[in-house]
Amino acid sequence: MPILAQPSEAPKASPAPREQSSSTYLHIETMVDPDDGQLCLLTAAETNLGDLRTASPARALGMVADARAQLDQIERLIHEYEAHDTLAAIIAEHDLKVEEWDTTDLDPCLRDRLDAWHWIENGEHVVVVPKGQDPIVRLNAITSLVNWLEQQGDQA
């Protein structure tokens, strides 16, 4: 079998996932100004409402867009955790040995198409993935590989 890439050093287990946190808060309200009786729009981005102030609709919509972007980051963080957690279960269930290899020396046409590759060595299923691969891409690649192996009748 041809060798597609060699590790730059001895393969190691995947590094511990990096710790991350994200939060967002947005408060919007309308109230009648007691001084002039006019309805006004108030916004705050601090949980204690310490920055509560009147705002234009454009400013409030900008704050909504910022909060939505933050919520997208929060959702991404949840999906990354889910991918990491699910992948660990798949690896354990199918008794896979996963190695991360540095693929930067590969031709870009090949490097950009390799999400995971597999072989059997001494009866052990070895799966190689690119170093630093997105956790969701890695989960999808290894899941596809396991499904393919099962279709082939080779229980991973």
Contacts of 118 (CB under 8 A, 6+ apart): 125, 126, 127, 128, 145, 149
- The position carrying tokens 């999400």 is 115
- 153: alpha, beta or left, given left = phi > 0 and alpha = psi -120 to 50? left
Average pLDDT per consecutive 10 residues, the chain (156 residues; last block may be shorter): 41 58 93 94 92 95 96 92 92 93 88 87 92 91 91 66
The model's pTM is: 0.62
39 forms beta bridges with 32
pLDDT of residue 16: 53
pLDDT of residue 17: 59
pLDDT of residue 64: 96
Q: Which long-range contacts (CB under 8 A, 24 or more apart) does 138-141 make?
A: 138/83, 138/87, 139/83, 139/86, 139/87, 139/90, 140/115, 141/115, 141/116
pLDDT of residue 10: 41
* Residue among 18, 4, 17 at smallest CA distance from 128: 4
Q: Which two tokens stand for residue 121?
A: 């060595």
Could you state, in order of their start, the residue ranges of all structural domains in the chain? Answer: 27-80, 82-151
pLDDT of residue 57: 96
Report helix angle 57-93 to 135-151, nearest 10. 40
pLDDT of residue 94: 92
CA dihedral of residues 36, 37, 38, 40 (deg, nearest 10): 100
Q: Identify residue 91 by its one-letter amino acid code.
A: I
Q: Other CB atoms closer than 10 Å to residue 136's CB: what's the count?
A: 16
